[in-house]
Amino acid sequence: MAEAFCVLPGAYPRGLNVVGEIITVLASGARTGGYEIFLQQGGEGSGPPPHSHEWDESFYVTKGVVELTISDETIEARAGTLVHLPAGTVHWFRFGPGGGEMLSMTSRAGASKLFTEIDAEIPPGTHDMNQVAGIITKHGVKIAVPPTQ
């Protein structure tokens, strides 16, 4: 059974370098018993390739602008915007000018293991999308468009 916990500023775990983004696991599925919460920070233009996965995901933009494409519709999500994506929805995003920050939440455990493996296997500054694709597909993520280097 999950236990109550609190994550205070200054006590966050080390941020994971995930292909140009820093992703901090604020609440792993191991701690909550199910869902996960992340703080995602990225420089301008950073973000994942078009993909889908078997869990719901929501984003709440806290700083900057995030250009988010859901299926074939692109929105400009500014600070204060919440976006919910049901499982199986093809999506991707790019942080806008000056970078940005958002909270993301998943409906089940899994993404924290994926982000941890990318951080461990791919050095900062490396953007070998074929290597990224190999890792994420192992964790149940489906690439919507073949990755390019």
CB atoms within 10 A of CB 5: 8
The answer to the question of residue 133 being in a domain is yes
Q: Looking at the 3D structure of the chain, how many domains does it have?
A: 1
pLDDT tens column, 102-116: 999 999 877 999 999
Give the distance, in angstroms, between the CA of residue 40 and the centroid of all CA atoms in the same chain. 6
DSSP state, 11? Answer: -
The residues near 97 (Cβ < 8 Å, ≥ 6 apart) are 44, 64, 65
Structure tokens at 75: 């929105």
**Between 111-121 and 129-138, two packed helices, what is the crossing angle to 10 degrees?**
150
Domain that holds residue 91: 16-143
pLDDT tens column, 37-95: 999 999 999 999 899 999 999 999 999 999 999 998 999 999 999 999 999 999 999 99
Q: What is the mean pLDDT of the chain?
A: 91
The answer to the question of residue 40 being in a domain is yes
Domain at 84, CATH number: 2.60.120.10
